[in-house]
A and B are shown apart, each in its own frame.
Chain A
């Protein structure tokens, strides 16, 4: 598996993928910098009890559509590396199991997006310090709000990597991903079982854990099913 990952990392070189992985979170932080920069007096009054919490919440709200759009684009780009010259036939004729090939792609997308979350957390800390919110940073809350929305999006990651890898025409996975992002933005009042609501981390129990656990279970299930589908499919 280590060799697969090393090969995958090499293949995304010069592909703008890493650039996008950084652009996403940095874009969110930059927008928040504008938000707080322009309405500094107003927002610091609204959040005067918990300045850090206010910043983290605002950033987290923006980060949810960014994650969903981001994972759509990243999975599509990762799959497209092989689609472009139909390198699948070369890759799958190597002595590597199809399971490993598929898992490698999915794992790469997962790790890259985790990296995005790390950058987001770092960016928020830097912004908070620049805004002079003090050094009393609520680290636990920050980590939760940076990583939980992504963990709650795992079914979408599994779905998108499946669509992107099994379909040569990337218009379909991209459309599905963008539609999903839009649905998720209006999902506040949906029933709790609707996956598009999970990244928002709100439900009746007022516990994010519910969304996360459901997401991980469904995500893994989708991954297993899609991997079997990939195994079954023949190379054109």
Chain B
């Protein structure tokens, strides 16, 4: 028995001749918030639909909770809560009735409805028809629906899509608290790196249907090599001066860049500049942002 909650092997999906997902090995450990990242149209939603049994893989296998999705679909789904793309709801019913319609099918206790309503803070609006809800409220109702069955695994596809900043923060905080409080494992997809960066512990990046990176968020961050940027009064002459003193730097737009070196080396460069009467305005560290790494990984076609 593997210790992965989700484990896919060479998962492939073709629509006709078009390859939407190609040989994806997704691995999610218990208690993680797994950020599933990729530009629009990279195959995130298709992968998630396969995880939920909504679409059939062309090739490859999916094991969730160690069970084969093909054979034990219903048993697996019993322990999963999901929200795929924009929320599904019955507009003519109230929030409470929407949850009740799903609760009956899950055979969950009635008290659970009030619990999930209070988790997503919709208790006050429970008796209103959902068609009058704002997108943020509908999205929260979707999350409440996903939580109804007390799931061990939560699969959320773009849960913050179309939300305003406060709604995004709210949902992010809600999701972050879940693994700690309820021991839930979460898979959350997004095309926004900043989103994933702020809550995920593990990251999988998919591009053009292929998994191009899968590791912890720290590993991804480590890739962001830093540079030291020096702003001086005459960059060109300073550069020449440093060169003659044996320091290798680059000049870009009247600024000096030093590739990541030790603190002592930086101190030597600075003191050399000072000795030669250059005015130093700024010495700062420039980190390559995760965004840039992401663009690099996805070949620059990402929308961020």
Q: Which residues of B contact A130 (CB under 8 A)?
A: none
B105 touches A87 (CB 8 A): no
A93: contacting residue among B84, B91, B107, CB under 8 A: B84
B82 touches A95 (CB 8 A): no
The stretch among A18-26, A78-86, A179-187 that forms the contact with chain B is A78-86
Q: Which residues of B contact A194 (CB under 8 A)?
A: none
Q: Which residues of B contact A204 (CB under 8 A)?
A: none
Please tell me if A96 contacts chain B, counting CB pairs below 8 Å: yes
Q: Which residues of B contact A13 (CB under 8 A)?
A: 92-93, 97
Alpha-carbon distance A90/B80, docked complex (angstroms)? 12
Chain A interface residue count: which class? 20 to 34
Known: A13-B97, A235-B55. A93 touches B106 (CB 8 A): no
Min CB–CB distance A189 → chain B (angstroms): 44
A81 touches B90 (CB 8 A): yes
A10 touches B92 (CB 8 A): no
Please tell me if B77 contacts chain A, counting CB pairs below 8 Å: yes
Which residue of chain B has its CB nearest to the CB of A92? Answer: B54
Q: Which residues of A contact B78 (CB under 8 A)?
A: 95
Which residue of chain A has its CB nearest to the CB of B92? Answer: A14
B residues 144-170 touching A (CB-CB < 8 Å): 145, 149
Please tell me if B52 contacts chain A, counting CB pairs below 8 Å: yes
A234 touches B56 (CB 8 A): yes
A residues 1-19 touching B (CB-CB < 8 Å): 3-4, 6-7, 10-11, 13-15
Which residue of chain A has its CB nearest to the CB of B107? Answer: A3
Which residue of chain A has its CB nearest to the CB of B55? Answer: A234
Min CB–CB distance A97 → chain B (angstroms): 6
Known: A3-B107, A4-B105, A95-B77. A10 touches B84 (CB 8 A): no
Please tell me if A34 contacts chain B, counting CB pairs below 8 Å: no
Q: Which residues of A contact B75 (CB under 8 A)?
A: 95
B88: contacting residue among A11, A86, A234, CB under 8 A: A86
Residues of B near any A CB (own CB < 8 A): 49, 52-56, 74-75, 77-78, 80, 82-93, 97, 100-102, 104-107, 142, 145, 149
Residues of A near any B CB (own CB < 8 A): 3-4, 6-7, 10-11, 13-15, 81, 84-97, 234-235
**11 A-B residue pairings within 8 Å (CB atoms):** A10-B100, A85-B91, A89-B49, A90-B102, A91-B88, A93-B82, A94-B106, A95-B74, A95-B149, A96-B74, A234-B54
